Each structure stands twice: as C-alpha cells, then as structure tokens.
Amino acid sequence: MSWMFEKPSSGEIRAILVRHGESTFNAQGRHQGSSDESVLTELGKSTARQTGKFLSGLTVDALYVSSLRRAQETASEMLSMMTPTVGLQNVHVVWQLREIDLPAWQGLYHKDVRAQFAEDYRCWKQSPHQFFMEDPHTNQRFYPVRDLYGRAQQFWQEILPHHLGQTLLIVSHSGTNRALINTALNLTPAYYHSFKQSNCGISVLKFFQKDIFSTQLEILNLTEHLEAQSLTPKV
C-alpha cells in the first residue's frame, strides 16, 4: 500500500479516517454517543501508537480531530510515533466530528439498552434512518442518524475546497466515520450500519474534483497494522 503515502495530484484529495482506540466505555460494553466521560484504555493508547507507527512517513497536510477526549488522545498517541508529524498550525479540533448524539442511552450497558428499549433498539439496527429520540433540552423529537449525516455533509462541504492536492488525517469515531464514508459515497442514512469501523481501523477515501467532487473508497477498516492480541474479542 505504498500508494497511500504518495502525494495526491492537484485535482485530488486523500482523506485517511481513523477510529479512536479502545475506550473505557468500549471495554465496559457501554454506549458512548457524544458523552465525553470515556477515555482511552492502555490498550487503546497502545493501538493508537501502532497506528501512528504504521502511518509514519506519511505527509499529512492537515489533521482534523473530534472534540471528544478519546479521539484527541488517540491523535496525540498517533502523532508521537509519526515522522514527519503534522504542524500544530494545521491541527483542527472540529465539533462536527463528535460521535452520534444518543442522550437516552449514553452511559448505559448495551445489554440493558437491548432489554429496556427493545422496540427502539430494533428500529436503531434495522431502520436507522427512522430511529428517533427526544432531545432532553428541548423535549423535541430528533433523528440521531440523520443529524449525524447532516454534520458529516457539512464537514466535507466546508473542508474539501481548501485541500486540493493534499492528504488529510481525520481521527474520529465509529458512527462518525461511517457517516463520513456514506455521505462521501452518496449512501443514505438507511445504510448507516453497513460498514464496520474497528478501534484504530483505517479507511481511506480519495476525492476527485470535477464539476462536483466524486469519491473512491480505497480502503475500508484496515486493521492489519494492529497486533493480534489487540483484535481479540473480549468475553
């Protein structure tokens, strides 16, 4: 995959998406959503460093990272292993990249959500585009997946025109990365659960400037750079 380290042509952009390393909520089997209580475990820090080592030598023109701590910690661990590293002036903490908002489930164990919100959970898995929750601040119904897609589309629209001929590193979350991939490929929110994003998995998109940006998915959820024990499922 040496091509991944090559500089894009003047009419192209390569975006390298990385999901954060294992977090405390991941290890505990709890829903995170956009809660910022979760931080990286020691395993999460280790796999982030492995990912940075794998990407060492990559010329990164700009780093975009979620505003949540687990993603920022991942980016910090990665950059400690990367040479050359991206200049601090090109590091952008972006609110649009935070994880999906799931206020009713955040902090709850997955098994408890499946038991207590059985119908909602079935809709979440089978028809994510129709899944809704109540906003605790406004008491109004909102659609988490649709809202996340809106953020992802806004992110691409705002940044792509500024990075022609460049390579971008984006450190974010499972749901956010899936929304970024799907919106780039013009897939609807119904396909939200279609692409797996593992902790520190790498996905790569290439954008081509024509009348509008067209997109090619070059890599989906690469984990070969991680040590075997990092990928062993927990009992």
pLDDT, tens digit, 9 for 90 and up, residues 119-133: 999 999 999 999 999
pTM of the predicted protein model:
0.93
**How wide is the angle at C-alpha 35 spanned by C-alphas 75 and 192, nearest 5°?**
80
Mean pLDDT of 134-139: 85
Could you tell me the residue ranges of all domains in the chain?
2-230
Q: Which CATH number fits domain 2-230: 3.40.50.1240, 3.20.20.70, 1.10.3080.10, 3.30.70.20?
A: 3.40.50.1240
**C-alpha closest to that of 216 among 203, 198, 200, 225:** 203
Mean pLDDT of 91-100: 96
Q: In the numeric block, which tokens belong to residue 167?
A: 């390579």
- Tell me the pairing of strands 12-19 and 202-209: antiparallel
Judge residue 222's burial from the number of C-beta atoms within 10 Å of its C-beta, 0-12 exposed, 13-18 middle, 19 or more buried. Answer: buried
Work out the pLDDT band at 232, boundaries 50, 70, 90: very low
pLDDT value at residue 83: 73
Catalytic residue among 22, 99, 163, 173: 99
12 flagged as catalytic: no
pLDDT value at residue 127: 98
20 flagged as catalytic: yes
pLDDT at 24 over 60: yes
pLDDT in tens, 70-81: 999 999 999 999
Catalytic residue among 12, 20, 22, 173: 20
Task: Give percent of the chain above pLDDT 90.
Answer: 83
Least trusted range by pLDDT, from 73-87, 150-164, 215-229: 73-87
CA–CA separation, 147 and 172 (whole Å) = 16
pLDDT value at residue 6: 85
